[in-house]
Amino acid sequence: MEALKPDAGSVRGKNVAKIRDEILYQPILKTGKGFYMVFAFLSLVVLFAAFAYFQQFHKGLGVTGLNSPIFWGIYITNFVFFIGVSHAGTLISAILRISKAEWRRSITRSAEVITVLVLFFGLGNILIDLGRIDRLLIVIAHGRFQSPLLWDVVSLTTYLTASSIYLYLPLIPDIALLRDRMPGGFRKGLYEVLALGWAGTEKQIHYLEKGIGIMAVTCLPIAVSVHTVVSYVFSMTIQPMWHSTIFGPYFVAGAIYSGIAGIIVAMAVLRKVYHLEDYFRAVHFNGSSGSCILLT
Amino acid sequence: MIRWGMVIDLDKCTACQACVVACQIENNIPPPSPEEAAISRSIGWMRMVENIEGEYPHIKAHIMPVPCMQCENPPCVKVCPVGATNKSKEGIVDQVYGRCIGCRYCVNACPYTVKSMNWYKPAWPKEMMNSLNPDVTVRPKGVVEKCLFCSHRIQKAKDRAKAEKREMTPDDYIPACAETCPSKAISFGDLNDKDSTVSKLARSPRAFRLLEELGTEPNVYYLREGA
């Protein structure tokens, strides 16, 4: 499927493109020493975080250093930040897809993955911020729709669902490529299930393109609404400095801004680590930085 | 229908803080450790708010006791995602400890900062453990609590009136702070009854309410000093 493959470059021949694409499979087929080192380091960080959370769960929120009147601290800041970064993906890739910007092809995937992962970080921060995590289900059983926090719950779960589908749909042909390449084993089976019997026929491509188009158009208003709603959590109270009409647009603009910055960092890392200089080219960095400047 | 209200006469108030102590004892509020108090974590349903003008010795101090305002239009009730804080028919803003998920949204929304969070499990010195008030729940860690105008006393007054086969009157019930006040600065009663003391005082030209411009319609009135 042409639209979903990385930019092949019209000047070079088809064979060159095929050899060049080979590099894209390397990170999945081979695992280097660097991966295990980063994995070990991050596992340590996760273990430490789990220990810290257990401390908080056991002793109470007092261990955080919050007090009165600073009832919300780094957790809620983190939540707003990660929800902001999550805007990168779906919003940027949907805008670029709808505006048919051809240079987008190599960056949309990383953008969409950032969205889905980072949304989980944001939601996680809300969960560890609760004083009584054991009563979480009360929000569903006895939720009050007058509260902006419940608007948040609704819009975030919608956004998470929509952006996960939007990530998965364009992945199907690529999963099929991996399925064909895998020699066997557990991952072959996994890819076979996930590829949903993709064979690349004309009919399948037609339906997939249609599905992606619908999801792109759906994601745009959801993405804008999510961050507006996050800002409502603050601006709907009567606290000085929070009670402000500019919060909605301010949060959305800030979110897109930090989101694009997030993509640029991710692109730079992927480019260096996996030697993808042919895929993340100057045009992508120029385009993303241009969008950042546009928003300042 | 009764609408409970409180009037605090700042001319009569000597800032002796007897109301604060009475509230702490009545409502099982744990005394904070000095370290916790230093980072403003202490829980107090009745607090003394001070405003000191000038330099010593030419000093003028305004000190006022601040309980929960029991707003007619409470900002904390509006934002609660689970309905753990709500408005009773008699005008008291309730807090349901068993429902609260500890998100601290109401605490942020309250313009008077009269709601408190239980950062830790409450603890008392060993000697005090046997003198807790059995009528009031000891709050677990991780929930928000606030002044309820000693609403457990309403329930007791209703039960007593029922045993005596009569209707409860506003005179049957008084919160601990108003009961304790040695200079009788705090009066308490039914604001809907035009002849009650509180309702007469609330209509006096000296009466004002805190942050009235926010439209929260507090049921706690103050009488201006030196007017």
**Beta-carbon separation of A132 and B108 below 8 A:** no
B143 close to A131: Cβ distance less than 8 angstroms: yes
| DSSP code for B87 | E
The C-alpha atoms of residue B219 and residue B226 are separated, in whole angstroms, by 22
SS3 B93: strand
pLDDT at B225: 86
- Per-residue pLDDT for A7 more than 50? no
Phi, psi of A61, deg, nearest 5? -65, -5
A115 close to A216: Cβ distance less than 8 angstroms: no
Return the H-helix or E-strand segment holding B62.
strand B60-66
- Per-residue pLDDT for B51 more than 60? yes
Interface test with A, best of B108, B145, B146, B212 (most A CBs within 10 A): B108
What distance in Å separates residue B21's CA from the closest CA in chain A? 20
What distance in Å separates residue B163's CA from the closest CA in chain A? 36
The C-alpha atoms of residue A231 and residue A246 are separated, in whole angstroms, by 9
Q: Pick A295 or A127 by higher pLDDT.
A: A127
pLDDT at A20: 59
SS3 B154: helix
Q: Which residues of chain B are within 8 Å of residue A59 when distances are taken between CB atoms?
A: 120-121, 141
**Beta-carbon separation of A65 and B39 below 8 A:** yes
**pLDDT band with cut points at 50, 70 and 90 for residue A252:** confident
B109 close to B77: Cβ distance less than 8 angstroms: no
Interface test with A, best of B85, B119, B214 (most A CBs within 10 A): B119
A258 close to A85: Cβ distance less than 8 angstroms: yes
The C-alpha atoms of residue A150 and residue A199 are separated, in whole angstroms, by 42
Neighbours of A287 (CB within 10 A): 18
pLDDT at A294: 80
ipTM of the complex: 0.85
A72 close to A129: Cβ distance less than 8 angstroms: yes
Burial label, A182 (beta-carbon count in 10 A; 0-12, 13-18, 19+):
middle
pLDDT at A1: 43
Neighbours of A288 (CB within 10 A): 21
pLDDT at B227: 66
- Per-residue pLDDT for A8 more than 60? no
CA-wise closest residue to A68 among B20, B212, B106, B213: B106
B83 close to B93: Cβ distance less than 8 angstroms: no
For A134, which residue in chain B has the nearest alpha carbon?
B101
- Per-residue pLDDT for A182 more than 90? no
Out of B64-68, B204-208, B222-226, which region has the weakest mean confidence (pLDDT)?
B222-226
- Per-residue pLDDT for B143 more than 90? yes
- Per-residue pLDDT for A13 more than 50? no
Of A68, A142, A237, nearest to B75 by CB-CB distance is: A237
Chain B residues with at least one Cβ partner in A under 8 Å: 36, 39-41, 75, 78-83, 99-105, 107-109, 111, 113, 116-121, 140-144, 214, 216
- Residues in chain A, how many? 296
Phi, psi of A166, deg, nearest 5? -65, -30
The C-alpha atoms of residue B219 and residue B209 are separated, in whole angstroms, by 8
Which residue reads 């506003």 in tokens?
B170
Q: Pick A108 or A61 by higher pLDDT.
A: A61
Q: Pick A74 or A106 by higher pLDDT.
A: A74
Q: Pick A68 or B13 by higher pLDDT.
A: B13
**pLDDT band with cut points at 50, 70 and 90 for residue B20:** very high
pLDDT at B116: 92
Give pLDDT tens digits for B94-122.
999 999 999 999 999 999 999 999 999 99
Give pLDDT tens digits for A75-101.
999 999 998 888 877 777 787 787 777
| DSSP code for A73 | -
Q: Which residues of chain B are within 8 Å of residue A150 when distances are taken between CB atoms?
A: 81
**Beta-carbon separation of B121 and A131 below 8 A:** no
A&B contacts, CB < 8 Å: 112
pLDDT-above-90 percentage for chain B: 73
Give pLDDT tens digits for A35-68.
899 999 999 999 999 999 999 999 988 888 888 8
pLDDT at B204: 93
pLDDT-above-70 percentage for chain A: 92
What distance in Å separates residue A231's CA from the closest CA in chain B? 14
Give pLDDT tens digits for B74-94.
999 999 999 999 999 999 999
Out of A154-158, A240-244, B25-29, which region has the weakest mean confidence (pLDDT)?
A240-244
Out of A19-23, A122-126, A216-220, B159-163, which region has the weakest mean confidence (pLDDT)?
A19-23
Of B109, B117, B118, nearest to A237 by CB-CB distance is: B109
Of B82, B103, B108, nearest to A144 by CB-CB distance is: B82
**pLDDT band with cut points at 50, 70 and 90 for residue A19:** low
The C-alpha atoms of residue B36 and residue B46 are separated, in whole angstroms, by 18
The C-alpha atoms of residue A90 and residue A81 are separated, in whole angstroms, by 16
Which residues partner with A10 through β-bridges?
Answer: none
**Beta-carbon separation of B113 and A69 below 8 A:** yes
Q: Which residues of chain A are within 8 Å of residue B113 when distances are taken between CB atoms?
A: 68-69
- Per-residue pLDDT for B23 more than 90? yes
Q: Which residues contact A68 (CB under 8 A, 6 or more apart)?
A: B40, B41, B107, B113, B116, B117
SS3 B6: strand
Tell me the pLDDT of chain B averaged across its residues: 91
- Per-residue pLDDT for B192 more than 60? yes
**Beta-carbon separation of B79 and A236 below 8 A:** yes
Of B79, B81, B118, nearest to A139 by CB-CB distance is: B81
What distance in Å separates residue A51's CA from the closest CA in chain B? 18
Give pLDDT tens digits for B151-160.
999 999 999 9
